[in-house]
Amino acid sequence: MLEHLKLISEATEFGRYALIIMDGAGWHQQKLTEGFDNLSILKLPPIPQNSIL
């Protein structure tokens, strides 16, 4: 995951900011972005079990 974030960070143009949208998997944590100054993680809320898609 860190290698993937590194590639995204490097591909993001200077002066731009990347927002990474992730599901709620346990390893998708905001602390993964520590050390990057041009990206953040936004975790999607869980889908209620009784909802119909």
Q: Is residue 33 part of a domain?
A: yes
Give residue 20's domain range: 2-43
Query: Looking at the domain assignment, is residue 53 inside a domain?
Result: no
Question: What pLDDT score does 4 carry?
Answer: 92
Rounded CA-CA distance 26/11 in Å is 26
Instruction: Answer whether residue 36 is part of any domain.
Output: yes
Render each residue's pLDDT in the chain as its tens digit; 53 residues: 889 999 999 999 999 999 999 887 777 677 888 889 999 988 888 887 877 76
Residue 45 in tokens: 């809320």
Number of domains observed in the structure of the chain: 1
Query: Is 22:43 a contact under the CB 8 Å cutoff?
Result: yes
Query: Residue 5 is which amino acid?
Result: L
pLDDT of residue 44: 87
Whole-model pTM above 0.85?
Answer: no
> Given this model, what pLDDT does residue 53 score?
63
